[in-house]
């Protein structure tokens, strides 16, 4: 039986951090997997990762292996990576390109790119066998602004219920059209909630991120989504053109932005696994996969305007290196927090007034978990 620890969460009376067991308990982690990650829409990546028919990548998440495949007519498909014959894993590679079909390595059952079973050797004499009855098992999928969202539930919540605050919000950034220039994967020895709580505040920025704080002051900007599954707002860019090591813009603007948006970076956490950061010249997003109560796998990707590639002045590494540095600074403090909450002396402590979004994240998390 899972024991949930009471944590005061009403900001007016002094919001407090979560009890230590929320970051270390295998039982709570199992409850999160069942009640959150197996039921909520989560981001699998951006559709630009599979641009051509036959392109695919696989995703290991929450006890499942999932295949994301670009089919004919540019349609994106999501299936469990499981053959319908003996349950064999169809694909072992993390990414690649199929031909015109997908073949199981065990008994050569073969599927079309749209999931139909089109070949089953020596099965024609099996009683009542019909290939139409054995397509690849689908995963519920929705595309939002080019991002692929999946849901493992048999009866998923309406996608629009959680994403209403975002629908149409970022039209100026051309998100479906952007193309990737780089991806980094980090193995972080910290609970996934530390990653979200850290992302949602810049109280820590002056000591942890001196380079970031120099060109984007920690007290700049403001939040516009402050409760629910989506939290965030913007911060200003001052004394630089973008968040890069050089301070220069590293690419064309991603879209036809309003004048004020050329001096802003928007940051939104999207429960339960996505962090979306919109810069004037590039978009960065993280997907967070909990591996255990005390370990997370984080994938960070950078997207640019398709016309930026190959143009003079295009220097995506300038932005990617800036955030690789900043990411590692974040992961370090999250790992230190993970070590600290295991102490017998750790107790929930008051959040600062500068940490309203981490407090809001905790409230929403506890509500979804049913704590």
pLDDT tens-digit series, residues 242-252: 999 999 999 99
The residue-averaged pLDDT of 348-356 equals 94
The residue-averaged pLDDT of 232-245 equals 96
pLDDT above 60 (res 189)? yes
Average pLDDT, the chain: 94
The answer to whether residues 180 and 296 belong to one domain is yes
pLDDT above 80 (res 8)? no
Q: Does residue 294 belong to any structural domain of this protein?
A: yes
pLDDT at 11: 40
The answer to whether residues 272 and 361 belong to one domain is yes
The answer to whether residues 179 and 133 belong to one domain is no
Express each pLDDT in 247-275 by its tens digit.
999 999 999 999 999 999 999 999 999 99
pLDDT above 50 (res 6)? no
pLDDT above 70 (res 2)? no
Sign of CA dihedral 134, 139, 140, 142: negative
Q: Does residue 166 belong to any structural domain of this protein?
A: no
Residues 330-357 as b or e (16 or more Cβ within 10 Å = b): bbebbbebbeebeeeeeebeebeeebbb
The answer to whether residues 15 and 78 belong to one domain is no
pLDDT at 162: 84
CATH number of 175's domain: 3.90.380.10
The answer to whether residues 30 and 108 belong to one domain is no
pLDDT at 59: 94
Whole-number Å distance between alpha carbons of 211 and 197: 21
Which of 93, 124, 156 finishes a domain?
156
Express each pLDDT in 307-327 by its tens digit.
999 999 999 999 999 999 999
- CA distances for 90 relative to 55, 96, 142, angstroms: 15, 13, 23
Q: Does residue 2 belong to any structural domain of this protein?
A: no
Q: Does residue 108 belong to any structural domain of this protein?
A: yes
Express each pLDDT in 334-343 by its tens digit.
999 999 999 9
Q: Does residue 5 belong to any structural domain of this protein?
A: no
The answer to whether residues 128 and 238 belong to one domain is no
pLDDT above 80 (res 12)? no
Q: What percent of the chain has pLDDT over 70?
A: 96
The answer to whether residues 107 and 218 belong to one domain is no
CATH number of 100's domain: 2.102.10.10
Instruction: Specify the number of domains making up the chain.
Output: 2
The residue-averaged pLDDT of 228-232 equals 96
The answer to whether residues 258 and 345 belong to one domain is yes
Whole-number Å distance between alpha carbons of 186 and 299: 6
- Structural domain boundaries enclosing 49: 42-156
Residue 14's pLDDT band (cuts 50, 70, 90) = low
Express each pLDDT in 71-117 by its tens digit.
998 999 999 999 999 999 999 999 999 999 999 999 999 999 999 99
Whole-number Å distance between alpha carbons of 150 and 228: 19
pLDDT above 60 (res 1)? no
pLDDT at 3: 47
Q: Does residue 124 belong to any structural domain of this protein?
A: yes
Residue pair 72/114 in contact by the 8 Å Cβ criterion: yes
Q: Does residue 263 belong to any structural domain of this protein?
A: yes
Q: What percent of the chain has pLDDT over 90?
A: 92
Q: Does residue 161 belong to any structural domain of this protein?
A: no
The residue-averaged pLDDT of 175-186 equals 97
The answer to whether residues 86 and 179 belong to one domain is no
Express each pLDDT in 15-71 by its tens digit.
999 999 999 999 999 999 999 999 999 999 999 999 999 999 999 988 899 999 999
The answer to whether residues 86 and 230 belong to one domain is no
The answer to whether residues 229 and 333 belong to one domain is yes
Residue pair 162/225 in contact by the 8 Å Cβ criterion: no
Which of 156, 180, 198 finishes a domain?
156
The answer to whether residues 176 and 147 belong to one domain is no
């Amino acid at each position: 039986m899972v024991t949930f620890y009471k944590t005061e969460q009403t900001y007016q009376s002094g919001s407090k951090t979560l009890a230590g067991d929320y970051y270390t308990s295998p039982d709570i982690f199992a409850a999160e997997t069942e009640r959150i990650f197996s039921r909520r829409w989560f981001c699998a990546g951006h559709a630009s990762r599979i641009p051509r028919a036959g392109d695919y990548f696989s995703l290991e998440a929450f006890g499942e292996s999932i295949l994301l495949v670009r089919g004919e007519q540019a349609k994106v498909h999501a299936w469990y990576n499981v053959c319908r014959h003996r349950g064999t894993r169809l694909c072992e590679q993390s990414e690649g390109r199929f031909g015109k079909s997908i073949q199981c390595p065990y008994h050569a059952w073969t599927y079309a790119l749209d999931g139909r079973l089109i070949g089953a050797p020596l099965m024609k004499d099996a009683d009542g066998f019909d290939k139409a009855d054995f397509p690849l098992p689908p995963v519920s999928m929705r595309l939002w602004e080019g991002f692929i969202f999946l849901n493992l539930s048999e009866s998923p919540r309406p996608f629009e219920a959680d994403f209403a605050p975002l629908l149409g919000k970022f039209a100026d950034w051309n998100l479906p059209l952007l193309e990737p220039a780089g991806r980094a994967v980090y193995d972080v020895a910290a609970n996934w909630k530390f990653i979200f709580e850290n992302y949602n505040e810049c109280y820590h920025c002056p000591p942890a991120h001196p380079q970031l704080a120099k060109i984007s002051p920690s007290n700049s900007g403001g939040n516009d989504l402050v409760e629910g599954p989506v939290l965030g707002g913007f911060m200003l860019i001052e004394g630089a053109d973008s968040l890069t090591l050089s301070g220069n813009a590293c690419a064309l603007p991603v879209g036809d932005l309003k004048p004020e948006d050329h001096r802003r970076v928007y940051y939104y956490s999207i429960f339960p696994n996505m962090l979306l950061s919109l810069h004037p010249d590039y978009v960065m997003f993280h997907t967070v996969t909990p591996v255990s109560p005390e370990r997370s796998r984080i994938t960070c990707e950078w997207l640019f305007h398709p016309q930026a590639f190959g143009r003079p002045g295009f220097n995506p590494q300038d932005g990617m290196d800036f955030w690789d540095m900043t990411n590692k600074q974040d992961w370090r403090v999250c790992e230190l927090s993970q070590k600290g909450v295991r102490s017998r002396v750790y107790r929930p402590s008051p959040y600062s007034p500068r940490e309203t979004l981490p407090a809001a994240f905790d409230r929403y998390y506890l509500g979804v978990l049913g704590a």
